[in-house]
Chain A
């Protein structure tokens, strides 16, 4: 399967010269299966250029939302394929304890926040609640959603496709309230989603120095991300959801420091907008290859 990062920034879109390498668009990742099935993970601002790249003629598209914070849904109304009448779109995401996914989404996709209503979108739209239905198939993808530690109903996704397992947990604070990082696996939220994943895409918003100021905001420090990946036994980690204040130079330095702090039992490549990975092989022995070049 092929994984493309269309948006790697957290919280707020941050375009500009200082963020051009890691990118300024907010969370959006595309996964293409060998059978042509396409998954779109989150609908941050990065979904807009993804929409422009999709050729008309496809029959179905699946958008998997981890949660409904603005940086993960803001691009939805600007995603061209939603305006194609012939397209079958399936939107997956979490309900809350009292409201279904439809009611929660229409808070954003309705006036005064947005001029277009969900019901007015020309495509054929089907909503799925991943809290009620956490395991499902799309094409040859087997997908599992699991609740993770972040304010509001928030899930991560474990995607098992041809060639391996990709886990996507873009907003997560796995060690909230913990003074010591106990890597005892049943007591770390989200760990089963990431267990032995070939590629883990995980929240790494804050530096280790910044994190104490943001405890409870629902995001990880880089140290916590590395610990989580270590506990899960992943093969390749792509830290994601870069803080808006982290320029390219700051991110370079943070990850040079992380690499030089000690040997890691996995490959570490911070997510950059436009980069593509190929995960191929077979379960447990997949290869994760960063493809050369970048998507425009």
Chain B
């Protein structure tokens, strides 16, 4: 049976990015991981042909800070697979099959249009002190292949998704994001700069305090080139306030340049 085009696009995008990424099917088996993730699994993907859930969990042994194995409901990927909402957690794992490492793990459910559940995407990164990096070159007239693939994936995804460029300018948001943002992407009268984006959506922290751009997940991902996750409030373009869980994924591609940031949002009840 042929693969879903959404999975094809995700594999191609993952192969272009420097973040360790794994794709899981609805049963939790790893069906693909990219080159940077080889350091997590201790294997090349081509050597495995896929990893059943029991096998990769046995390899990585995801545990809490005291090395107590996490129960299923505590694991972020299980959250993504079982509850179909993002899961995020800092944990310890035996990476490379050997040493214990502290990792931040985000699990994003993959639900395509038509409510087709395709599994989950896992992002791994090593927590480190936030290091600000200088801005990269201005985006050229040709979008990078990583950004192009991301936009095509976003168009098929049922989760609300933003795509901004390396300078924070809004490039695209998908149909699922329209109810949150309160407008259609095609109806925007002009491109939104980073400053306009923040003025328009008035992002605030969980206590309602204004969030500076550098503290917003998109801003953190842009400046540190690490994924970022946070619950925030925004005001949609329709004037309504919404509480959302936001995960931002920096698109650092093969050229080691930041070409954009993918923002994935869910309305958060509490």
Using CB atoms and an 8 Å cutoff, list the residues of chain A in contact with chain B: 94-99, 131-132, 134, 146-149, 151-153, 176-178, 185-192, 213, 215-216
Q: Is the CB of B36 within 8 A of A177?
A: no
B35 neighbours in A (Cβ, 8 Å): 96-99
Known contacts A97-B34, A149-B149, A187-B148; A176 and B8 CB within 8 A of each other:
yes
Closest CB of chain A to B245's CB: distance in Å? 26
B226 neighbours in A (Cβ, 8 Å): none
Known contacts A187-B148, A189-B145, A189-B148; A147 and B255 CB within 8 A of each other:
yes
Q: Can you report 6 residue pairs joining A to B where beta carbons are below 8 Å apart?
A: A94-B254, A97-B17, A131-B254, A147-B16, A149-B148, A176-B8
Closest CB of chain B to A200's CB: distance in Å? 16
Closest CB of chain B to A221's CB: distance in Å? 15
Q: Which of B141-196 contact A (CB under 8 A)?
A: 141-145, 148-149, 151-153, 156
Shortest Cβ-Cβ A-B pairs, 10 listed:
A216-B8, A192-B142, A177-B152, A98-B35, A189-B145, A147-B145, A186-B143, A177-B9, A97-B18, A97-B35
Instruction: Give B144's nearest chain A residue, CB to CB.
Output: A147
Specify the main secondary structure of chain B where it touches its partner: helix
Question: Within the complex, which residue of B5, B6, B12, B141 is in contact with A151, where a contact is CB–CB below 8 Å?
Answer: B12
Closest CB of chain A to B158's CB: distance in Å? 15
Q: Is the CB of A97 within 8 A of B144?
A: no
Q: Which of B7-49 contact A (CB under 8 A)?
A: 8-9, 11-12, 15-18, 34-36, 38
Select the residue from A96, A148, A188 with max chain B CB neighbours within 10 A.
A96
Q: Which of B127-148 contact A (CB under 8 A)?
A: 140-145, 148
Question: Within the complex, which residue of A177, A186, A188, A213 is in contact with B156, where a contact is CB–CB below 8 Å?
Answer: A177
A99 neighbours in B (Cβ, 8 Å): 35
Total A-B Cβ pairs within 8 A: 82
Instruction: Give B9's nearest chain A residue, CB to CB.
Output: A177
B3 neighbours in A (Cβ, 8 Å): 216
Known contacts A97-B17, A152-B15, A187-B148; A177 and B8 CB within 8 A of each other:
yes
Instruction: Give A188's nearest chain B residue, CB to CB.
Output: B148
A216 neighbours in B (Cβ, 8 Å): 3, 5, 8-9, 11-12
Q: Is the CB of B9 within 8 A of A97?
A: no
Select the residue from B11, B148, B156 with max chain A CB neighbours within 10 A.
B148
A151 neighbours in B (Cβ, 8 Å): 11-12, 15
Closest CB of chain A to B155's CB: distance in Å? 8
Q: Does B208 contact A (CB under 8 A)?
A: no
- Once bound together, how far apart are the Cα atoms of A215 and B5, in whole Å? 8
Q: Is the CB of A192 within 8 A of B140?
A: yes
B62 neighbours in A (Cβ, 8 Å): none
- Once bound together, how far apart are the Cα atoms of A187 and B171, in whole Å? 11
B151 neighbours in A (Cβ, 8 Å): 187
19 further interface pairs, Cβ-Cβ under 8 Å (given A131-B255, A148-B145, A215-B5): A97-B16, A97-B18, A97-B254, A98-B35, A147-B145, A147-B253, A149-B12, A149-B149, A151-B12, A151-B15, A153-B15, A153-B16, A177-B156, A187-B151, A189-B145, A189-B148, A192-B140, A216-B9, A216-B12
Closest CB of chain A to B161's CB: distance in Å? 15
Known contacts A95-B254, A149-B12; A177 and B5 CB within 8 A of each other:
yes
Q: Does B2 contact A (CB under 8 A)?
A: yes
- Once bound together, how far apart are the Cα atoms of A147 and B140, in whole Å? 14
Q: Is the CB of A97 within 8 A of B36?
A: yes
- Once bound together, how far apart are the Cα atoms of A98 and B38, in whole Å? 10
Closest CB of chain B to A181's CB: distance in Å? 13
- Once bound together, how far apart are the Cα atoms of A153 and B253, in whole Å? 10
A95 neighbours in B (Cβ, 8 Å): 254
Known contacts A176-B12, A186-B142; A153 and B36 CB within 8 A of each other:
no
Contact with A along B232-255 (1 / 0, CB 8 A): 000000000000000000000111
Instruction: Give A213's nearest chain B residue, CB to CB.
Output: B2
A96 neighbours in B (Cβ, 8 Å): 35, 254
Closest CB of chain A to B110's CB: distance in Å? 14
- Once bound together, how far apart are the Cα atoms of A147 and B253, in whole Å? 10
- Once bound together, how far apart are the Cα atoms of A99 and B255, in whole Å? 12
Instruction: Give B18's nearest chain A residue, CB to CB.
Output: A97
Instruction: Give A192's nearest chain B residue, CB to CB.
Output: B142
A98 neighbours in B (Cβ, 8 Å): 35-36, 38
Instruction: Give B151's nearest chain A residue, CB to CB.
Output: A187
Contact with A along B201-227 (1 / 0, CB 8 A): 000000000000000000000000000
